[in-house]
C-alpha cells in the first residue's frame, strides 16, 4: 500500500543532519564554502574565491534534495516510521498537504 505525503524540506534537512552521519558530514562541508573563499581572498585569488562561493547555492539545493530523498527512502524501507515522521512534522499527510508548512 502506497501512501501519499508531502515532505517538508526544512524539517527533512534537520532530520537528516541530526540522524545520519552522511547528512552531518555533508552539512558540515557547507562551512568550507564560507571559509575557503575567505582564505582565497586573503591570498589574492579573487576569481577562484567568487567561483567557489558561487557554488554554495547549488550545493545547498543538492543537500535539500538529498534530505528529501533520505526521508522518502526511510519511509519506503520502514513503513512504520510514517507516523513518527508525521508527528515530527517532517511529512504532511494528504489532508494537510494543501496547507503551508510554515
User: Is the residue at 44 inside a domain?
Assistant: yes
Q: Quick one: pLDDT at residue 35?
A: 92
Residue at 1 is within a domain: no
Q: Is 69 domain-assigned?
A: yes
3-state SS track over 37-99 = HHHHHHHCCHHHHHHHHHCHHHHHHHHHHHHHHHHHHHHHHCHHHHHHHHHCCCEECCCCCCC
The residue ranges of the chain whose pLDDT is under 70 are: 1-2, 95-102
Residues composing the chain: 102
69: left (phi over 0), alpha (psi -120 to 50) or beta: alpha
Give the pLDDT of residue 71.
93
The answer to whether residue 65 is domain-embedded is yes
pLDDT tens digits, 24-52: 999 999 998 889 999 999 999 999 999 99
Count of C-beta atoms within a 10 Å radius of residue 57: 10
Number of domains in the chain: 1
Residue 8 in any domain: the answer is no
Domain containing 86 equals: 21-92
pLDDT score at 22: 92
- Residue 76 in any domain: the answer is yes
pLDDT value of position 99: 56
Instruction: Tell me the chain's radius of gyration from C-alpha atoms.
Output: 17
Amino acid at each position: 500500500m502506497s501512501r501519499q505525503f508531502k515532505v517538508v524540506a526544512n524539517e527533512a534537512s534537520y532530520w537528516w543532519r541530526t540522524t545520519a552521519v552522511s547528512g552531518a558530514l555533508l552539512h558540515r562541508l557547507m562551512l568550507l564554502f564560507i571559509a575557503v573563499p575567505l582564505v582565497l581572498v586573503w591570498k589574492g585569488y579573487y576569481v577562484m574565491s567568487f567561483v567557489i562561493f558561487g557554488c554554495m547555492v547549488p550545493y545547498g539545493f543538492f543537500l535539500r534534495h538529498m534530505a528529501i530523498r533520505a526521508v522518502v527512502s526511510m519511509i519506503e524501507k520502514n513503513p512504520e516510521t510514517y507516523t513518527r515522521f508525521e508527528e515530527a512534522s517532517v511529512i504532511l499527510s494528504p489532508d494537510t498537504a494543501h496547507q503551508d508548512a510554515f
